[in-house]
Amino acid sequence: MSGERVLVTGGSGFVGVHCIQALLNAGYRVRTTVRSLDRDHEVRAMLAKAGAAMNDAPGEALEFRVADLLSDAGWADAADGCTYVLHVASPFPGRDPKDEDDLIRPAREGALRVLKAARDAGVKRVVLTSSFAAIGYGTKELTRPYTEDDWTDATANVSAYVKSKTLAERAAWDFMDREGGSMELSVVNPTAILGPVYGTDLSTSIELVRRLLNGATPGLPKVTFAFVDVRDVADLHVRAMTNPAAAGERFLATSDGVLTVPQLAQILRDQLGEAARKVSTFVLPNWMVRTAALFDPSLREIARRLGNHREVSNAKAKSLLGWEPHSNAELLKATAESLADLGLAPGNA
């Protein structure tokens, strides 16, 4: 393990930073891609806040390369000399773009660029960050928990993000079948990701919690989410990277049990006390959400989810890789406390 170099794409992102932290703490050398070297200080600051082990020679433990998902430039250099690759980078906007290709192209083409560069560099295994979005949408809702055997129907009426993740993962598996050679692929499919935040560029899921804590969400829609702690997502990436049993496999990353937004709000109030004083208790009727979505595009994905209740199984990651996720209560508390520490939400002080 010591001395092996791992490429992590999208190192300035929420999941990317936690993956880098997990790898550094495990003794790996890390190379990460960013779209501009101006962000290297930001990444190092987040890692320092997270307590990442930088050893005695931080320049050797972590290095940066510039690469963009929509350009071939830089990827061969980024992958050169790496034993493993964690392909984390992928666009995740707060709302659907006007043109769905603004999401689909970087997701699919970026995955193929990384896989080709990794194969040509002699990388042993790539771990691709996909999503539950590639598993649980566009088909009739199941009466059993969703598993890694399920796939989203990208031809159905699904959001641009859901389509992008599905098409990107499909393209990755197709590439491996046709052109992967001896390289191996594993895929991690997280549900909505929460957990400790070290920077102010917030993901959509984190923004949901921040708005609840700040009282910016006065009504609670009765939609259901499955959540997972970002620390557990990073841990699962590292396990999938090295475990022989993970080659050619998908792994759902989710905590135990799903939550409605009103249940999420109740957990925040129970866990945080005075720090959750602004969290609403008003549950919105479904008709009100659907009506508001006609005028507010940001609510359309919420309206789509009304009435859906998708249970998700994490049994495979647990049994095959020995993975154990944090509970929903633990990950929500960690999210809220980190937001308070950054001055982005109320605290108990």
Express the helix, strand and coil content of the chain in percent, nearest 5 each: 45, 15, 40
Asked if residues 89 and 110 have their Cβ atoms less than 8 Å apart, the reply is: yes
Task: Give the dihedral sign, CA 7/12/15/20.
Answer: positive
Reading the block at residue 344, the tokens are: 């982005």
Asked if residues 47 and 123 have their Cβ atoms less than 8 Å apart, the reply is: no
The whole-angstrom separation of Cα 12 and Cα 43 is: 5
**In 191-304, where do the E strands start and end?**
192-194, 224-229, 250-253, 258-260
Reading the block at residue 225, the tokens are: 């989410």
DSSP 146: B
The whole-angstrom separation of Cα 98 and Cα 314 is: 34
Which of 298-305's residues contact partners 24+ apart within 8 Å by CB, and which partners?
298/94, 298/95, 300/95, 300/96, 301/95, 301/96, 301/159, 302/221, 302/223, 304/159, 305/223, 305/224
The whole-angstrom separation of Cα 251 and Cα 109 is: 22
Burial label, 216 (beta-carbon count in 10 A; 0-12, 13-18, 19+):
exposed
Tally Cβ neighbours within 10 Å of residue 298.
11
The whole-angstrom separation of Cα 119 and Cα 176 is: 10
Q: Which are the catalytic amino acids?
A: 165
DSSP 250: E
Amino acid 58 reads: P
